[in-house]
């Protein structure tokens, strides 16, 4: 590892610069590039809270009574806030897994909204890991839920207000187009599943097509085209680098989820998607190694984002001498430094 300076000193320096420093109206890719540069980090903090495995102080912070879902949701929110406070300064973004909040029902969604707000206040971009995909009219509703607002007879109901979200491509380009339209209206980003980190990725994503190449390569071409098809400033009635989808840093607002567990594909994906931000899950608990991902980072420091969740949140289980906060901080800093050294 080439970094010789103190982890603590460096983390403290990074905490002052944050996504909040980039203008809110800048496109997602530019806001991402700014926070990656300021924090010298491509790490995305996964927030996958399991109510049965929360940090002890978060469990103690729950109300003394009430329905289990309500108490657990309060504990989940406290856990995520503490994790963001401990590990966030070494990260560029936070990625809440929506399933983990949905399972606590309405109180879980209230906790999700609170966690999104806390992460943004901590200077992190927020990527909602939703993997949504539906026909146009429903995709529009998901867009309202994630990055937009819903007109009602009582006024607009705001959505989560995240900076980006993940989406599933199975239903085709028309459904992705609707989600992307919602994202661009909010200057947000969208990460499309291309090749995921699970063993089952072989079942459909790797299927060889009659036209040649695997299914994931076709999806990669769609992702590249959607990103390249960002409206030009003049067409959209905007001008300059703040126009929707048109970034100053050169990266697209349509990213790709590319599992870190199959690094042999990463170089080929980079050829197919030269200006796409790769979201790279599968490091740590799923077996992927950050050292294998160099092609992801080749075009730009912000072109590869390394996500980790359980390996950070449960780091203290391997280190009985450390508090959850200290263990999480050490683990995220290790990952940050390893990724930054590659880029």
Q: How far is the CB of 209 from a second copy (least distance, A)?
A: 6
Residue 99 binding a second copy, by CB under 8 A: yes
For residues 278 and 163, what is the distance between their CA atoms, to the nearest angstrom? 15
Q: Is 304 helix (H, G, I), strand (E, B) or coil?
A: strand
Token output for 182: 């919602």
Give the contact letters, 168-207, x = binds to a second copy (CB under 8 A), - = no: xxxxxxxxx----------------x--xxxxxxxxxx-x
> Residue-wise over 35-49: b if at least 16 C-beta within 10 A, else e?
bbebbbbbbbbbbbb
Residue 80 binding a second copy, by CB under 8 A: no
- Pick one of 119, 145, 305, 339: the residue that binds a second copy (CB under 8 A): 145
272 CB neighbour count, 10 Å cutoff: 19
- Is position 131 annotated as part of the catalytic site? yes
Give whichever of 25 and 99 is closer to a second copy, judged by the CB atom.
99
Q: How far is the CB of 263 from a second copy (least distance, A)?
A: 17
Residue 221 binding a second copy, by CB under 8 A: no
Residue 314 binding a second copy, by CB under 8 A: no
Rg of the chain on CA atoms, in Å: 19
- CA neighbor of 164 nearest in space, from 239, 272, 233, 247: 247
- Pick one of 27, 89, 96, 108: the residue that binds a second copy (CB under 8 A): 108
Q: How far is the CB of 57 from a second copy (least distance, A)?
A: 13
Give whichever of 218 and 268 is closer to a second copy, judged by the CB atom.
218
Residue 104 binding a second copy, by CB under 8 A: yes
Q: How far is the CB of 83 from a second copy (least distance, A)?
A: 17
Instruction: Answer for the pair 254, 180: CB distance below 8 angstroms, yes or no.
Output: yes
Residue 284 binding a second copy, by CB under 8 A: no
Residue 229 binding a second copy, by CB under 8 A: no
For residue 134, what are the CA distances in angstroms to 37, 41, 102, 295? 35, 33, 18, 32
214: which strand partners? 208
Q: Is 26 helix (H, G, I), strand (E, B) or coil?
A: coil
Residue 62 binding a second copy, by CB under 8 A: yes
Q: How far is the CB of 17 from a second copy (least distance, A)?
A: 31
Interface segment toward a second copy; rule CB under 8 A; list 14-22, 83-91, 130-138, 327-335? 130-138
- The residue whose two tokens read 């947000």 is 188
For residue 52, what are the CA distances in angstroms to 14, 48, 79, 237, 272? 32, 12, 12, 51, 41
Give the contact letters, 146-165, x = binds to a second copy (CB under 8 A), - = no: ----xxxxxxxxxxx-----
Catalytic site residue from 3, 17, 61, 131: 131
Give whichever of 20 and 149 is closer to a second copy, judged by the CB atom.
149
DSSP 84: H
Give whichever of 282 and 295 is closer to a second copy, judged by the CB atom.
282
Residue 47 binding a second copy, by CB under 8 A: no
Instruction: Answer for the pair 107, 73: CB distance below 8 angstroms, yes or no.
Output: yes
Active site (catalytic) residues: 131
């Amino acid at each position: 590892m080439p970094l010789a300076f103190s982890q603590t000193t460096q983390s403290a320096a990074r905490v002052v610069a944050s996504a909040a420093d980039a203008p809110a109206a800048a496109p997602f890719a530019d806001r991402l590039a700014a926070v990656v540069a300021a924090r010298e980090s491509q790490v995305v903090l996964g927030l996958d809270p399991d109510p049965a495995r929360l940090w002890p102080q978060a469990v103690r912070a729950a109300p003394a009574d009430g329905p289990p879902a309500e108490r657990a949701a309060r504990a989940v929110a406290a856990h995520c806030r503490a994790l963001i406070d401990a590990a966030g300064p070494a990260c560029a973004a936070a990625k809440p897994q929506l399933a983990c909040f949905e399972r606590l029902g309405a109180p879980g969604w209230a906790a999700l909204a609170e966690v999104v707000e806390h992460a943004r206040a901590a200077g992190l971009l927020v990527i909602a890991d939703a993997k949504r995909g539906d026909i146009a009219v429903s995709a529009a509703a998901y867009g309202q839920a994630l990055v937009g607002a819903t007109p009602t007879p009582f006024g607009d109901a705001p959505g989560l207000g995240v900076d980006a979200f993940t989406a599933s491509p199975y239903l085709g380009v028309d459904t992705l187009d609707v989600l992307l339209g919602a994202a661009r209206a909010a200057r947000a980003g969208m990460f499309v599943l291309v090749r995921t980190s699970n063993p089952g990725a072989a079942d459909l994503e790797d299927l060889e097509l009659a036209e040649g190449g695997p299914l994931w390569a076709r999806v990669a071409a769609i992702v590249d085209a959607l990103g390249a098809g960002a409206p030009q400033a003049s067409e959209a009635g905007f001008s300059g680098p703040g126009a929707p989808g048109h970034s100053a840093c050169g990266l697209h607002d349509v990213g790709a989820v590319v599992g870190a567990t199959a690094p042999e594909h990463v170089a080929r994906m980079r050829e197919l998607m030269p200006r796409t931000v790769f979201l790279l899950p599968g490091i740590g608990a799923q077996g992927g190694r950050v050292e294998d991902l160099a092609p992801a980072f080749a075009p730009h420091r912000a072109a590869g984002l390394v996500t980790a969740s359980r390996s950070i949140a449960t780091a203290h289980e391997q280190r009985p001498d450390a508090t959850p906060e200290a263990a999480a901080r050490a683990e995220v800093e290790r990952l940050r430094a390893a990724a930054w050294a590659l880029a």
